[in-house]
Amino acid sequence: MSNSDAVNGRRFAGNNVAITGGTSGIGLALVDAFLAEGASVLTCARSPDSLAAIQQDRPGLHTVVADVTQPEGRSAFLNAIHTHFGDLDIFVSNAGLLVEHDFARHEVSDNELASEFSLNLVAPVQLTASVLAQFERIKAITLVSSGYALVTPTRSPTYGAAKAGLHGFAEGLRRQLSERQIHVLEVLPPLVDTPATAHRSAAKISPESVAAETLSSLHARRPMALVGQTKWLPLLLRVMPARIADIVSKT
């Protein structure tokens, strides 16, 4: 990036960026934020119609139909990066979903658990491993986790477990990759106004504010992007652990 690019707000000019789950919510806001800052962007999702719809208004955007929980989906995503970019600068693992379970009242099936952990934890780790092995230019791994990585919500113990797992992975990976100077960024949003949270009436922040904080944190090489109500969460959990965990777990 040249100095004039930074001045003109094009901090990611010349960067190839691949984002999972970019047709909606936080992923789509990240697609737009990177495009606005001069990056070349590729994204994937399962729905071809959603991918075609977002591509209509974004002619430079590359897309590929891929379910990241399936080996063939991950291959399709990685092959598309090779085809369109040749090499990759920034990988963003964003696709994920909170599924509510009440273990006290209902049995949760093996299949439900496997697909949920695959999407929220295993696939991001698998794709990170592949990206690191296949792309020489890679300089940043961005993992969208959640404020719930730090406090598990009562309504979804599995989501808290998966995102806490991603949090632990980010921490260890950051140490391992420091010698190669590869930046590992974990993004921990609070409740965000996306289709996934349409049924929730609590206060939400915009996906655009999450994307803006993510790009700033990448640019500043911060370890975590903390935004909205999660900004003070690590500190508050140190000062008043039981009280804060009680409040956050009920959200």
Ligand X SMILES: NC(=O)c1ccc[n+]([C@@H]2O[C@H](COP(=O)([O-])OP(=O)(O)OC[C@H]3O[C@@H](n4cnc5c(N)ncnc54)[C@H](OP(=O)(O)O)[C@@H]3O)[C@@H](O)[C@H]2O)c1
Interface residues with ligand X (CB under 6 A)? 20-27, 44-47, 50, 66-69, 94-96, 98, 119, 144, 146, 189, 191-192, 194-197
Contact 38, 5 (CB under 8 A): yes
Contact 186, 148 (CB under 8 A): no
Candidates 85, 91, 135, 159; catalytic one = 159
Q: Which is nearer to ligand X, 20 or 128 (CB)?
A: 20
Q: Which is nearer to ligand X, 14 or 71 (CB)?
A: 71
Q: Which two tokens stand for residue 120?
A: 């929220």
Contact 185, 141 (CB under 8 A): yes
- The amino acid at residue 66 is A
Q: Which is nearer to ligand X, 27 or 160 (CB)?
A: 27
- The CB-of-127 to ligand X minimum distance in angstroms stands at 10
How far is it, in rounded angstroms, from Cα 10 to Cα 34? 9
- The CB-of-236 to ligand X minimum distance in angstroms stands at 17
Q: Which is nearer to ligand X, 22 or 165 (CB)?
A: 22
Q: State whether the Cα torsion 27-28-30-31 is positive or negative.
A: positive
How far is it, in rounded angstroms, from Cα 28 to Cα 11? 19
- The CB-of-194 to ligand X minimum distance in angstroms stands at 3
DSSP state of 122: I
- The CB-of-186 to ligand X minimum distance in angstroms stands at 11
- The CB-of-3 to ligand X minimum distance in angstroms stands at 33
Q: Which is nearer to ligand X, 98 or 131 (CB)?
A: 98
Cα distances (angstroms) measured from residue 106 to each of 101, 103, 137, 158, 162? 8, 5, 47, 14, 20
- Active site annotation includes 148: no
End-to-end CA distance of the chain: 41
Q: Which residues are catalytic?
A: 159
